[in-house]
Amino acid sequence: MLAIIYSTLCASAAMAEATPVSIQELSAVTSPRWTQTYEAHGRTIKVDVDITIPKVNEISLLKAKKAEPIAEPRISELAAQYKKADKADKKHYYDFESGSYDTLGIRHKFPVVWGTSKNKEGSDGITSQDLDLIEYDPDQAYADNNSLTVREAEEIILSQVKEILPNLEMKLDTVVLEGKTYWRKNKKPVYDRGGYWLNFRQCFRGIPSLACINDTFTDQSHTNLRDSWNTSNSGKAICVVYDQESWSVNGCFYEEAGTILEDVPVVPFDVVKGQMEALIQSGHVRWIQSASLGYVLFDTRNPDEYLLVPCWVVWCEYHPDGPFSECKYGINDSELMFQGNNAYYRALVFDAQTGTMFDTENTSAERFLYPGLDK
């Protein structure tokens, strides 16, 4: 039904006029920012986002595979080093892993934020304060009782990861304040300062992987082609930083495995914008966080192979029931807005070669495959 709605409203005319261009030419035919206010079904939706285009010479259609664990003897050396540090430190956590689940998983001098000691981890009667930073100045400090700036926190993670995975490229995606934790009875903090929860996206040839295709579906349950959770959490790293010595990294990454098509021509963002405006007017879209060109991960029938497809991706608040849905979360409530915290936070995905939107309400078993390259 949704496919019929947005196709009828705008897609046919806008896409007929679209002329794909190289990514080098794209900035000249795409507005740098989308700023507009819409009225729809008694709601005011204000859009004010950059149209983000990677600064590269070309964007290609790529094959990918899961990254291998860190090679021996380095993995054993690091595992032994972290095990020794954890045994010696009675107050902080140290652990290290690298395998099929996490390409890199580290906690380095990590505070016991949910209890007064390692033995009291998970104690009852603790409350926390975590907030999204929708927009932020990377050179400012936001964390509670912590002078660390967002940029400094980002640099700590990038430098630590580079020492272990020197060829990995990541781009900061979203920032969440990791607030203090407090005992409910006496209101005293369990840990004396807050930190930063940093979400990074893996990049390929300078282009970020913005989503995987199942991020767009209302029904995200997977077929037997692949484990859904593992796919959704691949190509990115979730990191927490308190200071130079106290941080964690959990990331599951890919490796490039071949090129299917070099220098793919892409359509201007205006093709996508028209379809997004139709979804705003129909009551499906309430808030827009970002609009970017990059890679989206698709499955293949080979369980060991993926596709990285050039797509326009709009992360937004999307309601399957359109104007009849009442928002239970949202940026004005106490709940976090971003992935995992808001049932309506969604990636709307458009094939960059054609401007065609992948239907978020598709429930077919084939919806995780890229059309035309699903053999």
- Residue 294's nearest CA partner among 34, 28, 26 is 26
Sequence-distant (6+) residues with CB within 8 A of 235 are 201, 202, 209, 212, 252, 253, 254, 297
Residue 53 has pLDDT above 50, yes or no: yes
Domain extent listing, the chain: 2-64+263-351, 66-257
Q: Of the ranges 9-13, 39-43, 234-238, 258-262, which is most confident? A: 258-262
> In angstroms, rounded to a whole number, what is the distance separating the alpha carbons of residues 93 and 115?
12
Model pLDDT for residues 263-292, shown as the tens digit of each residue:
999 999 999 999 999 999 999 998 899 999
pLDDT the model gives residue 254: 95
pLDDT at 331: 45
Q: What share of the chain has pLDDT > 90, as a percent?
A: 61
State residue 333's pLDDT score: 42
Whether 244 has a pLDDT exceeding 80, the answer reads yes
pTM of the model: 0.88
Write out pLDDT tens, residues 148-188: 999 999 999 999 999 999 999 999 998 988 877 777 778 77
Per-residue tokens: 19:
């002329």
For the cut 90, the answer to whether the pLDDT of residue 132 exceeds it is no
94 pLDDT exceeds 60?
yes
Query: Would you state the structure tokens that stand for residue 358, as one six-digit string?
Result: 């992948």
Task: Tell me the percentage of the chain whose pLDDT exceeds 70.
Answer: 84
Residue scoring higher pLDDT (333 or 336):
336
More confident residue, 233 or 335: 233
- Average pLDDT value for residue range 30-37: 94
Confidence at residue 83, expressed as pLDDT on a 0 to 100 scale: 97
pLDDT value for 39: 94
Q: Counting runs of H as helices and runs of E as strands, what totals does the chain give?
A: 7, 15
Rounded mean pLDDT of 123-130?
66
| Of 4 and 278, more confident | 278
* 215 within 8 A of 346, measured Cβ to Cβ: yes
Q: Which residue has the higher pLDDT, 47 or 335?
A: 47
